[in-house]
Structure formats: structure tokens, C-alpha cells
A and B are shown apart, each in its own frame.
Chain A
């Protein structure tokens, strides 16, 4: 089983190299970031916010403070880790497909929460925004992936 962990580690490395590659960032992750920003804006509108979205930028019309959803904030890296782990694990095709779909939704859902909280923090406190942006949410998203994977492993065993 440990050779699968090595394969997983290689996949994670590959994902990061691809993520750091400018062509991938601009071609694939650009629209992904805009989509994440758009969904976040819609959710915030539902909650009564008057945020203005322009591409991958979310701006507060009063203070003009803005955040930009870049590839690091798109949740793409966490999603890639999740996909790699599910693909590597010896489960049935049905379990893998279900894991990929629900996992994608879990990671991207939490990522929308991240974008919304970062937008609000940026309006009120720059130090808090910096801490949450650079350190806190990165770890939380990583743990979200791990917890989902553990739950998925357990579910696919019993089903």
C-alpha cells in the first residue's frame, strides 16, 4: 500500500508544478477564479451584501477595498490533492466517481466560504485579512481535504 502513497506524493508534486506554470494559470485557472468570484458574489448578494464583481475581483463599492481571486485562492490545489488521492486509492469506479463529485463540492463549497470571509476581513482589518489569507485558510482547506478523504475511505469500506 505504501507505493500508492509514493504515487500520491508524486501526483501532489506534479499538481503543484502545473499550478505554478503560468500557461496553466492563465488558461485553465483564470476562468476558474472568475467563476469562484462570481459564485461568491452571488452568495453575498443573497446575504444582503452590495459587493461588485468584475472578473476575478470583488470590490466593496463604499470603501473601494477589493480582493482578487488568484489561482492560490481558487481551491484548485486542494481539489487536485483530493482528485489525486481518490484516483490512487483502490476503490470501485462508482465509489471514486461519487468521491470525486462530493469531494469537489465540499472543497469548492468551503473555498467559497474562504473567499467571502476574506472579502469581509479585508473590509475591516488588514492584519486579520493577511493572517487568514496567508496562513489560516490554507491549513483549513488542506484539513478539509484530509477529513473528507478519511470519511470517504470509511464510507467506501462500508458500502
Chain B
């Protein structure tokens, strides 16, 4: 790592952690229904929405009704989005006259956006009209993120309340997430991005004569507004096909920094909020600490791997060490304006969070450089993770860690003063199990059938990594693409679609089951005999459980992909 990269990483981490607390406190106030400084503006809007849609803000739901509301809302969103995409040709704001999407692609894309994945089997500027982007996708960018946050808040209430029945009102949590958190933050980020030169217009694409005298067609559109929410809501679906590597999406060093901070901002704030609302701020900090440790390790490993480059290139007599005249290392697939440091940090953050936006091509990374994003996703997106979904997924791992380690202190394991029993363990295992089942299952089908391997750009272990990455990205609701794989086929559209649905809803339902059982339990004040969840020891155990569970599940697959590719590269064999 170059000194600049070390400094940049340190700066990034410090700013991120510093922002977590104020944002977390603000979000706590929002979800607890307290008055915030935005109420004079948003209060009337909120009440208006409730009045129009007949929501009774003061009536709460039990976990079943809350879950049904989420599922119904998501299903309705899926149907609506599918219809918009299929009927795109008949809808307004379509200056390029783009046609409707074929069924498998429309299914894949609509699932992708309602699950907060933003896997893009399509190319934005060549497939979607402005209407589809704004009304269809951007709307889901907001509400799918808000739904994830609502689930987290319901879980928190389940943990924080005791001997109770209800976990809140989904419609209220959803509305508040959008009005008080996502919209205002997006507005700030969008305005900043516009100041940096990100485009925001409704023009038809422009043909320009370049300096070299050739003609080039520039895709345009309302980019800034969509980019703000795609980053903040851990959506990641780029306005343009190359995502934030595109100069119109991400023109400057400042825009890059803000977009990168926006990826982890809300997830980090939510962790602080989690600690605050369950009554142990220290616990929140420990969890945030574990996440930050993974972030730093991931960023360092991928940075070192990229900076070390490829020995075969060195063998050709090309120095790949960083110097005054060159960045060195492996620059393939990276923007020279970002270099290795800002590219690998982005790759790490976007895969730790289930964001999936990119500013470089992960497919072009060295094997270990590519292993980091892949492994990040395969932790099932709980380290920062998606907005809401990251923390509620993490809660499942916390329960498992507390359960196994908690037995070792000689008591029925307790988390936040509540006993962990068969039902919670069952729920957590259902989530973990279905995640690995669809991920490995579809990767297995894809790797032995022509319909899976035909659209690969590379062979050998690298090709295998491409397949593995695609399904990991789907199941983890990440949405980033390793690329190098033609994913717009019926098999991949359906397979990844199913992965996304399972990865989303087979986490949400178990989490809500846990919220429902935990809310009814009694809460015992912690004593000297109870398992401490607010210290370094717990942080270590949690990290250990995440590593061991991830390692045990995916080590065989990873060793046939990036690991063997790396070992082969050392011997000069490339794929």
C-alpha cells in the first residue's frame, strides 16, 4: 500500500465512524416518533400520506401482520415494476423510443429492484427509458431501502420491548424512512453531485464530434438524483451501464469520496441506532467495530493484491511497483483518475454493503483482489450490508455467536436479557441455509450446463469465479457484477432472480419471526453471570463466527475459483 492509500483509507474510516453517531441519534428520534428539525417540513407530508392511504399511525401490528404488510408491499411493487418494464414502449419520457423488456429480463430486473439488489442484467442507457428509470427503478430504490430499514426497526423493537406483542407499524416505519432519512439525505448528496458536474436533465442523447474528429453519442438523463439514492440506499444500480466509473456519474475526486461515504453512511448509522434503541450503545459500537475491522482488512488485502500486480507482467520486463511516474500494480479495468487505492476501497465498501455500484471492473482484478469482493458478498451481506438488511442479518449471526459461546458460560444463552431458544435458532438457520443452498445450488447448475457456461468470457477457474460471483451477488442482494459473464439469458435471469428473492425474503421472514418471539419474552437485567455482549471478547467471537461460518461454507468453492487462480498465476498460468 502506498502512503497515500493508507492515509486515504484512514481518513475514510474516521469520517465514516464520526458520522455514524449523529446520524444514528437522528434516526433513533425518527423511529421513536420524536420530533426532529425536519418535522415542520415533513410532518404535514407524513400526515397527508396517512390520511390519503388510510393508515392509522397509532395502531401497531404484531409480527405476523407486519410481515404480511412487507410481503404484500413487495409483491405489489414487483407486479407494478414488471408491468412498467414490459410496457415501456407505450409509456412517456422515452425520447430514444426504447422497447419493452423481454419477460425473463423484466422479471429479473423487477425482482432485482424490489429486493434492493439492483443486479443489472440490462445496460441502463441502451435498455431503459427515463420513465422506467425514474418512476420504476428510482421509486423502488427508495422504498426497497425503506422496507429493509423497517424490518430492522421491527426487530429492534422485538429486542427492546419485553412481554409485549406488537413490533410497530410497517406503513409508518416505511413512510418515515423515506420522508425523514432517505429523501433529505438524497437531496443533499444529489445537489452536491450536481455541483461536481454529475448530469441531471431530460435531454435526448447527444451526438458530439470528438477532438479526434470521430462522432460519439452521449447518453444523458436525470443521473444525479438517481445516483444519490443508489448509493445511500445500498441499491447500486447505475444510471449508466459502467456505473460510477462513468464520468457523468462520478466526475471528480470529491464526488468519488462522497459517493463512497454514501455507500456505508446509513448502514453505519443504523448500527449505532441499533445499539441505542436496544439499550446498549456499547454493544452497538462493538458491532460497528467488528464491521470496521472487516472493512479495513478487506481494503488492505485487495489494495495489496492489486498493487502487487501480476508476476507474468513483471516477467515481460515491466516494473509494476508504484513510482513517481506511474501507479504501478494492476491497473486493468480501473479508472486512472481513481487509481488502485480509491478503486479497491470502493470495491470493498460496495461489496461489504450490499450496494453493488462500481467504479472499476472487478473482473479485471488479480485473483486475490477479486476474492475480497466475492468473499465479502458471501458473508451474506451482514458487514454493514444493505440499509436495514445488513444489521438485521448481522443480528442472526450475533444470535448464533451468543448461542454457541453463551453455552460456554454455563447458562441458557441470553441476548440483551432474553433467552435464545429453539425457535430463534431455527429461524437463523433457515436464513443461513437457504442462502448457501441457492447460491451454491445455482452455481453448481450453471457450472455443468451449457446454458451456464456458454456466455462466459473466460475459462478455467476465472470463468468459475464469474459464475460464482453472479449468484453470490444475487443471493447476497448485492447487485455488483464481476462481469465477464453474459447474464441476460433466461437461465441467469431466472436463477439470479430466485437467488435475489430467497436472499431477501428468507432473511426477512426469519428475522420477523425472531422479532415476534423475542418481543414476548421477559427481559432479565444482566448480571455477572450473563454473557457480556459489549466488550472486545464478544467482538472477537462475533468476528470468529462470521469468518468460520463463511469459510466453512464457501472455502471449497473459493479454492476452485480465485484461490487456485492465484496459485496458478504465481506459476505464470493465466486464465
A and B held together in a complex: no
| Chain A residues with a Cβ under 8 A of chain B | none
